[in-house]
Amino acid sequence: MGFNFRGLAFKQSMMILAAITIVFGLILGIMNHKTQAMLNQMTTENGEEISRANVNYIDKLFNASKVIGEDLAVKIDSHSMTKADVDDFLLQALFNARRTIPQIIAVVVAYEPGMGPETPKGEYMRLARFGEGETKLIDGANYQDKEWYASIKNSKTSRWQEPFIGDFVTEPIAIYTVPIFQTKNNGEKVFAGVLAVDMSIEFLKDEVTSIPVSNSGYAMITTAKNTAVAYPKRIAQGKRNRDVVVKERRGNKDFDFDRRVRNSSGLFIGTVADGEESAIYYTTIHSNNWTFLVVWPIQKYREDQRAMRSQFLLMALGGYGVILIIILFISFRVAKPLKELAIAARKLGQGNFNVAIPKMTGRDEVAEFAWAFSNMLTELKDNIEKQKDMKRIERELDLARNIQLSMLPGEEREENSDDDRHELAPFLLPAKEVGGDFYDFFKIDNDHLCVVIADVSGKGVPAALFMMVSRIILRTMTKNLKSIVDAFNKTNYALAKRNRLNMFVTVWAGIIDLRTGHIEFASAGHNPPVVRHEDGSVEFIPSKAGLVMAAMEETIYKPQYFNLQHGDTLFLYTDGVTEATNSEDQLFGDNRLLDAIRKCADLNTANTCTFVKNEIDKFVQDVPQFDDITMLAIKFNGSDEPVWERYEKTINVSDNGKSGELKSFVQDILTPMDGAKKVQMQDAWDRYEKIVDVIPENQDILTAFVEGILAPMEGSMKSQMQINIAIDEIYSNIVKFSGATRVTLIVEVRKATLTARLTFIDNGKPYDPIQQADPDVTLPAEEREIGGLGIFIVKKTMDSVCYRRNGDNNELAITKTL
For residue 490, the surrounding DSSP H or E stretch is helix 484-497
Which pLDDT value is given to residue 128?
Answer: 92
Q: How far is the CA of 203 from the CAs of 58, 93, 208, 209, 680, in angstroms?
A: 10, 22, 9, 10, 119
> In this structure, are residues 273 and 244 in contact, taking their beta carbons and an 8 Å threshold?
yes
Q: How far is the CA of 631 from the CAs of 118, 421, 460, 568, in angstroms?
A: 101, 20, 19, 16
pLDDT in tens, 480-494: 988 999 999 999 999
Q: Is the pLDDT of residue 441 over 90?
A: yes
- Tell me the average pLDDT of the chain: 82
Closest CA to 564 of 537, 608, 532, 590: 532
Least confident stretch, 80-94, 152-166, 415-429, 765-779: 765-779
Q: How far is the CA of 439 from the CAs of 430, 546, 560, in angstroms?
A: 12, 19, 20
Which pLDDT value is given to residue 780?
Answer: 65
pLDDT in tens, 195-206: 999 998 888 888
| Reported confidence tier of residue 1, pLDDT bands at 50, 70, 90 | very low
Which pLDDT value is given to residue 414?
Answer: 79
pLDDT in tens, 74-120: 888 877 888 899 999 999 999 999 999 999 999 999 999 888 887 77
Q: Is the pLDDT of residue 781 over 60?
A: no
Q: Please calculate the CA angle 136-139-145 and round it to the nearest 5 degrees.
A: 130
Which pLDDT value is given to residue 301?
Answer: 61
| Reported confidence tier of residue 783, pLDDT bands at 50, 70, 90 | low
Can you tell me the distance from the alpha carbon of 449 to that of 198, in angstroms, rounded to the nearest whole number?
98
pTM of the model: 0.39
pLDDT in tens, 800-810: 899 888 888 99
Q: Is the pLDDT of residue 40 over 90?
A: no
Which pLDDT value is given to residue 184?
Answer: 82
DSSP secondary structure of 293-353: EEEEEHHHHHHHHHHHHHHHHHHHHHHHHHHHHHHHHHHHHHHHHHHHHHHHHHHHHTT-T
pLDDT in tens, 332-387: 666 666 666 667 667 666 666 666 666 666 666 666 666 666 676 566 556 656 66
pLDDT in tens, 584-600: 989 999 999 999 999 99
DSSP secondary structure of 541-570: ------PPBTS-TT-----EEEEPPTT-EE
**Helix 365-374 vs helix 298-349: crossing angle, to nearest 10:** 20
Residue 813, burial from CB neighbour count under 10 angstroms (0-12, 13-18, 19+):
middle
Percent of the chain with pLDDT over 70: 78
Q: What phi, psi does 277 have (nearest 5°)? A: -60, 135
Q: Is the pLDDT of residue 531 over 90?
A: yes
Mean pLDDT of 530-542: 93
How big, in percent rounded to 5, are the helix, strand and coil portions of the chain? 45, 25, 30
| Reported confidence tier of residue 394, pLDDT bands at 50, 70, 90 | low
Mean pLDDT of 749-756: 84
pLDDT in tens, 652-703: 655 555 555 666 666 666 666 554 444 444 556 778 888 888 888 888 888 8
Which pLDDT value is given to residue 652?
Answer: 63
Can you tell me the distance from the alpha carbon of 634 to that of 776, in angstroms, rounded to the nearest whole number?
37
Q: Is the pLDDT of residue 213 over 70?
A: yes
Which pLDDT value is given to residue 419?
Answer: 85
Which pLDDT value is given to residue 676?
Answer: 45
Q: What phi, psi does 293 have (nearest 5°)? A: -120, 140
Distance of CA 631 to the CA centre of its chain: 31
First to last CA, the chain: 106
Q: Is the pLDDT of residue 632 over 90?
A: yes
Q: Is the pLDDT of residue 520 over 80?
A: yes
Least confident stretch, 127-131, 298-302, 389-393, 678-682: 678-682
Closest CA to 86 of 149, 148, 120, 128: 128
Sheet holding 560-563, edge to edge: 437-445, 448-456, 505-513, 518-524, 560-563
pLDDT in tens, 222-247: 888 888 888 887 776 767 777 788 88
Can you tell me the distance from the alpha carbon of 617 to that of 343, in angstroms, rounded to the nearest whole number?
55
- 745-777 burial, b for 16+ CB within 10 Å, e for fewer? bbbbbbeeebbbbbbbbbbbeebebeeeeebee
Between 291 and 42, residue with greater pLDDT: 291
pLDDT in tens, 116-148: 887 777 888 999 999 888 899 998 888 888 899
Can you tell me the distance from the alpha carbon of 371 to that of 363, in angstroms, rounded to the nearest whole number?
10
Which pLDDT value is given to residue 276?
Answer: 82
Mean pLDDT of 435-459: 88
Can you tell me the distance from the alpha carbon of 630 to that of 325, in angstroms, rounded to the nearest whole number?
71
Helices then strands (H, E): number in the chain?
Answer: 18, 29
